Amino acid sequence: MKICCIGAGYVGGPTMAMIAKQCPDIPVHVVDLNQARIDAWNSDVLPIYEPGLDEVVNEARGRNLTFSTRVDEAIADSDMIFISVNTPTKTFGIGSGRAANLEYVEKCARQIASVSRGHKIVVEKSTLPVRTAEAVKRILFSVSTGATFDVLSNPEFLAEGTAIEDLLRPDRVLIGGESEQAISSLAGVYERWVPRNRILTTNLWSSELSKLTANAFLAQRVSSINAISALCEATGADVDEVARAIGTDSRIGPKFLKASVGFGGSCFQKDILNLVYLCEHFGLQEVAAYWEQVVTMNDYQKRRFAESIVRTLFSTVSDKRIAIWGWAFKKDTNDSRESAAIYVCRDLLRERARLHIYDPQVQKEQILADLELAMSADTGVVSQADRQLLENNVSVEKDCYATANEAHAVVVLTEWDEFKTVDYAKIYTSMLKPAFLFDGRNILDRRALPKLGFEFHAIGMS
């Protein structure tokens, strides 16, 4: 058995590294169009930051794990081909802003069709709209080379920041398909380290829909607790206490009840919009509206947080220095896709604040590119006024102390552990007074910080 994976991203890279680690006898070849990304996978500085990933890659790379751009060769050589390319929300044409862009998946299917000989198992790893496998099958089965295919859906449930642990001890592995033989081939790979009773098999469409549904339910919990956070601020209740109180009900459970400045990441919003589009396509308007509200609430939470900063700072942040701590969409990743920080900072920037940003893992170039993209989202171009703000009002700093010097406010936007152990007395001394501290992740000591002199604000507490 030989495996290849098209797409060396946040999902394809770690997942294949884990398979290669656990199955030393199976050659695993990860390919990508992006040469720079492949070069990074072959270097000491991997393209993604993920705790524990370096060790897994170092163990398998050069033994049975290869990274290259030789897509055709990898496909021709493999028995099992994972498709793990990105499926971003469409930004043009029919379904723009909602539907998934399946261009890359279709191109992969066509490439597999044209290069393959013999029998191949094609595995959808990318999150896809329900019934995409139908299109993939039709493309594959239209070949005239005599090659034959089975198509499986095997969605990934790893979360960034905990990917290695999630891959090592998954709650479940889901495999959807029609051919028993193909399913048991793929199950056989996972069985090397995942207990058999955690490997669930379903039909193709259930598997595709389960991934969208899992992400929709998780995001819904975050939006639900964030909705309650607004009510807590209005009533004097404390959202962390409410979360603890409801989370101890075993029917509700304690996870994914952390109020925040809003969820981010490449999946939640994209997958819900995809679900909404799917419902609309099938004429299920009420179901579509129900799920869309999860995204609406998330947008509201981000906007509400930025507005509350402006209001608290005496209704103006113009020309005020604001220290921004954290850019990644959650801790322990360098991924900033759809991070709440981007939208909060865009709003503050348009209020003409001077932003001094620090994140332990996200590079300066990425931060600037994210802001530029957010500022051009409505029209496709950055206006003259926004361009000036980007050039004159944004600095990226090397540590959090540098951001806070003579700042009016510190704003925590990612829950990095290092923000819990900062010397806050030193930060306080370096800031202008009153020194405002906004905790968008509810991770800081809300009793100790006011005693140091800070005017402290967190989510969902007044």
Binding residues for ligand UDX (CB under 6 A): 6-12, 32-34, 37, 84-87, 104, 107-108, 126-127, 156-160, 215, 218, 222, 256-258, 260, 263-268, 329-330
In our burial notation (b when 16+ CB lie closer than 10 A, e otherwise), range 122-154 reads bbbbbbbbbebbeebbebbeebeeebebbbbbb
> Least Å distance between CB 71 and ligand UDX?
7
**Of the two residues 260 and 403, which places its CB atom closer to ligand UDX in the complex?**
260
CB-based closest residue to ligand UDX: 9
Told to judge if 211 belongs to the known catalytic residues of this protein, a careful annotator would answer: yes
Coil vs helix vs strand at 202: strand
> Least Å distance between CB 125 and ligand UDX?
6
- DSSP character for 290? H
**Of the two residues 258 and 408, which places its CB atom closer to ligand UDX in the complex?**
258
**Of the two residues 58 and 213, which places its CB atom closer to ligand UDX in the complex?**
213
> Least Å distance between CB 50 and ligand UDX?
10
Query: Tokens in use for 402?
Result: 């540098």
Question: CA 219 to CA 196: how far, in whole Å?
Answer: 29
> Least Å distance between CB 200 and ligand UDX?
15
Told to judge if 255 belongs to the known catalytic residues of this protein, a careful annotator would answer: no
User: Which among 21, 211, 258, 330 is annotated as catalytic?
Assistant: 211
> Least Å distance between CB 342 and ligand UDX?
12
**Of the two residues 104 and 193, which places its CB atom closer to ligand UDX in the complex?**
104
Is-contact 298 219, C-beta < 8 A? yes
**Of the two residues 180 and 418, which places its CB atom closer to ligand UDX in the complex?**
418
Which of these, 232, 221, 243, 227, lies nearest to 458 by C-alpha position?
232
User: Which among 21, 50, 90, 156 is annotated as catalytic?
Assistant: 156
Is-contact 378 425, C-beta < 8 A? no
User: Which among 23, 232, 267, 345 is annotated as catalytic?
Assistant: 267
Question: CA 70 to CA 63: how far, in whole Å?
Answer: 18
Question: CA 434 to CA 432: how far, in whole Å?
Answer: 6
Query: Tokens in use for 438?
Result: 């906004």
Told to judge if 73 belongs to the known catalytic residues of this protein, a careful annotator would answer: no
Question: CA 139 to CA 306: how far, in whole Å?
Answer: 47
Active site residues: 156, 211, 267
